[in-house]
Amino acid sequence: MLKEKAGEIAGKIWNTLNGTEGMTAKQLKKATKLVDKDLFLGLGWLLREDKLSVTEKEGELFIKLI
């Protein structure tokens, strides 16, 4: 059940980032309306699949699609 949920969340994150130059974790959380644990669950899924690039800019995580 949790694996299905992670996949759905990852899809929501991917769709939100698609067509953008990337977002901070804070912007992504606001745009997707996800709580922290779900946001990071989806980000982990996408990172594992090498779909994301995550860097730190000015103390914040910056996330973009690869």
Per-residue pLDDT of 22-63, as tens digits, reads 999 999 999 999 999 999 999 999 999 999 999 998 899 999
Does the predicted TM-score (pTM) go above 0.85?
yes
Enclosing domain of residue 58:
2-65
Identify the residue whose tokens are 């059940």: 1
Q: What CATH number is attached to the domain comprising 52? A: 1.10.10.10
1: exposed, middle or buried (Cβ count in 10 Å: 0-12, 13-18, 19+):
exposed
- What's the confidence (pLDDT) of residue 2? 82
- Copy the structure tokens of residue 52: 């994301």
Strand-pairing partners, residue 63, are 23, 54
Which residue blocks in 1-66 are alpha helix, DSSP H? 2-17, 25-32, 36-48
- Count of domains for the chain: 1
- pLDDT tops 80 at residue 1: no
